[in-house]
Structure 1
Amino acid sequence: MTFEAYLNYFEDVLTHPSNYPTYNDPEYFNYAKLNWSRMNRWLKKFEINEDVRTFFSTSTEKQTWILITEPWCGDAAHSVPQIHTLIKDNPNIILDIQLRDSEPFLIDKYLTNGGKSIPKLIIRNEQGKDIAIWGPRPAALQQIFDEMKAEGKEFEDIKTYFQTWYNADKGIELQHELVALLSGVEKK
């Protein structure tokens, strides 16, 4: 689905949660409400580094960016709007959002340490070949997550730390990682 269709889907989940079994669980519904707010804040306030803006706006290679996500995902509330904003003005890059928990279950081919962690970004060239994969979060934060998990930190503590990290980082790591990832591909 397009980014606009994803926003409509997300809004429908919030307006009619009873139509979506996952969101009949108050915890998931509350995550979605919070994530809607976070995502919309990023859509208004996310600032792209000028070098990054130039990198993505001048890319002439036709690509499809498949972004696997769900409204309940906290990491996605930050990354999805930032990724959209990075590429939305380049007609050579198509963003295709797919839901993790719905067919065709593409996530099953892109597991992270055996898990269905999202968001997951798969970048394909014009021939449909995977040229880069990113996710589920910036590498620096993934390392912190792995450490916190190994230390047995409570999920609430991890979520609080993540929110603080994302707000302080302002999408800088994501921008650098995607440029580095694609720069490596272009040199091959």
Structure 2
Amino acid sequence: MSETTASASVITSERLAGAYTYAAYRQLIDELLAQGRTTGPNQSEDLTRYAQLNLQRMQRLDKTVTVLPELQAAVAQLRQRYVWLVLTEGWCGDAAQIVPVLHAVASASNGHLTDRYLLRDDNLDLMDRYLTGGVSRSIPKLVVLHADTLTEAATWGPRPAQAQELLLRLKAAGATHEEYAEQVHGWYAKDKTRSTQLELLELVQRLA
């Protein structure tokens, strides 16, 4: 689920400088969970429980994600430099499945991609420019920026097309949050990041 566009600067360089690196984002989640909390202004036992599950998912993916050879080649051969700006939250299950992949791809780019992370609920003005279906603040949301101008080059998210279709089908059938979360995470487990990576490959190929 992506698109390629051109526009004015999406974010100021000063605001971007305050965004998290992946290591800092992961550290933030760890520190908050040690306090029994998660990211964002809304706090509850359920959100903290989701964040703990998501930490385990990210830890697993950090160790196991292998960037597809064709994707690694594509990002390494980019002729320009880009910033991968990601809107995310620690309690978001889709973010836990996708953010480690985005970081792995950026790390494989020979410096052509720099990944930075902003919390959705601290940046609603930016989030509301990238609503899914024009209504939903769905995350993670990847906004690809030209590194020199910080103008938009492409967007992607909040999840691969197959996962989005599954989610919408389950919601239409009246599934509860727990029911559709279980099935969507089951889809991620079987897919092993392949769909995410193939969609990112298409995006990178359009950038080139």
TM-score by length of structure 2 reads 0.84
* 1:121 and 2:147 aligned: no
Q: Name the CA distance, whole Å, in 1 between partners of 2:41 and 2:150.
A: 32
Cα distance, 1:84–1:143 mapped onto 2, change above 3 Å: same
Q: Which has the higher contact order (CA 8 A, sep 6+)?
A: 2
| Alignment-mate amino acid for residue 69 of structure 1 | T
Pairing partner for 1:99 from 107, 112, 119 = 119
Alignment correspondent of 1:140: 162
Alignment correspondent of 1:64: 83
Task: Judging by fraction of residues, say which structure has more helix.
Answer: 1
* 1:161 and 2:183 aligned: yes
Indicate the larger mover: 46-55 or 1-10. Answer: 46-55
Identity among equivalent pairs (%): 31
| Alignment-mate amino acid for residue 102 of structure 2 | I
Cα distance, 1:18–1:174 mapped onto 2, change above 3 Å: closer
* 1:5 and 2:24 aligned: yes
Q: Name the CA distance, whole Å, in 2 between partners of 1:141 and 1:18.
A: 28
Partner of 1:101, secondary structure, is: helix
Flag structure 2 segments of 5+ consecutive residues without an equivalent.
1-19
Shift of 1:34: 0.4
Cα RMSD, aligned residues only: 1.7
Shift of 1:177: 0.4
Shift of 1:105: 4.1
Shift of 1:21: 6.9
Q: Name the CA distance, whole Å, in 2 between partners of 1:120 and 1:103.
A: 12
Pairing partner for 2:44 from 25, 29, 34 = 25
Verify the 8 A CA contact 2:50 2:92 in the aligned structure 1.
yes
Alignment correspondent of 1:81: 100
Shift of 1:172: 0.5
Flag structure 1 segments of 5+ consecutive residues without an equivalent.
none
Shift of 1:182: 2.4
User: Would you say how many aligned residue pairs link Structure 1 and Structure 2?
Assistant: 186
